[in-house]
Amino acid sequence: MADKIKKISVLFSGRGSNLEKLIERFHEKSFAGTETRVFPITNRPEANGINVAREHGIESIVIDHRKFKSREEFDRELVKVLKNINPDLVVMAGFMRIVTPIFTSNIDAINLHPSLLPLFKGANAIEESFKSGMKVGGVTVHRVDATLDGGKILAQECVKIEPCDTLESFTRKIREKEHYLLPKTVMELLGLKE
Ligand code: GRF
């Protein structure tokens, strides 16, 4: 029997490649007596991540944001669902929602962002950083607060922008870095040891 189970809620809205990395690393895995489980939650019934989770035998919870009159009402429901799961960590991985103080005052969460924050906040970070003329872009994991992509930085790594890079090749390198950095940061935050 494991001494303890650590639950990780993963919020996503689309493709779900980071969700998949978290599932592969943490779903029904054991780390020196601690078991880990992943609980996927999405705001989009058509999100590909639902299929990704299903392929790993996990049903996602769907809270369709279009069914709520306001951001606050959606966040109230999301908070209720999360409190019911009572996770040790809430991870936003491609969760394309601006959250309100109803969320941030109730839930401690971390978010993955594909730039060297505080540079290039928002939804077009990869393209903006590629076109910036900088020699490096990168990936950040940060705490979620009431500001957009503005919470305390927890982990950050660079990705070089080489003269031969295209937006596509740079995007691939960013994704690879995300797939490495997010699980690593989750390990550290949960105090998990191999
Ligand atoms: C990632 O680039 C993440 O940084 C951003 O949205 C993307 C999600 O990708 N917030 P995926 O759905 O995990 O494949």
Report the nearest atom of ligand 1 relative to the CA of 114: 4
User: HEC string of 105-158?
Assistant: CCCCEEEEECCCCCCCCCCCHHHHHHHCCCCEEEEEEEECCCCCCCCCEEEEEE
Catalytic residue chosen out of the listed positions 27, 113, 142, 179: 113
The residues lining ligand 1, judged by C-beta closer than 6 Å to any ligand atom, are 12, 14-19, 93-94, 112-114, 178
Residue 194: pLDDT band by 50, 70, 90 thresholds?
Answer: confident
- Give the CA radius of gyration of the chain: 17
Sequence-separated (6 or more) residues with CB below 8 Å from residue 37: 5, 6, 7, 8, 26, 27, 28
Both tokens assigned to 147: 């500001």
Residue located nearest, by CA, to atom 3 of ligand 1? 94
> Which residue's C-alpha comes closest to atom 6 of ligand 1?
94
Q: Whose CA is nearest to atom 7 of ligand 1?
A: 94
Give tens-digit pLDDT for 95-132. Answer: 999 999 999 999 999 999 999 999 999 999 999 999 99
CATH pick for 4-190 out of 3.40.50.170, 3.40.50.880, 3.40.50.300, 3.40.190.10? 3.40.50.170
Cα of 12 vs centre of ligand 1, distance in Å, is 8
- How high does pLDDT run on average in the chain? 97
Q: Phi and psi at residue 75, in whole multiples of 5°?
A: -65, -35
Index of the ligand 1 atom closest to the CA of residue 14: 12
Q: Which carries the bigger pLDDT value, residue 3 or residue 108?
A: 108
Kindly state the greatest CA–CA separation across the chain: 54
113 is annotated as an active-site residue: yes
Note the pLDDT tens digit of each residue in 21-57.
Answer: 999 999 999 999 999 999 999 999 999 999 999 999 9
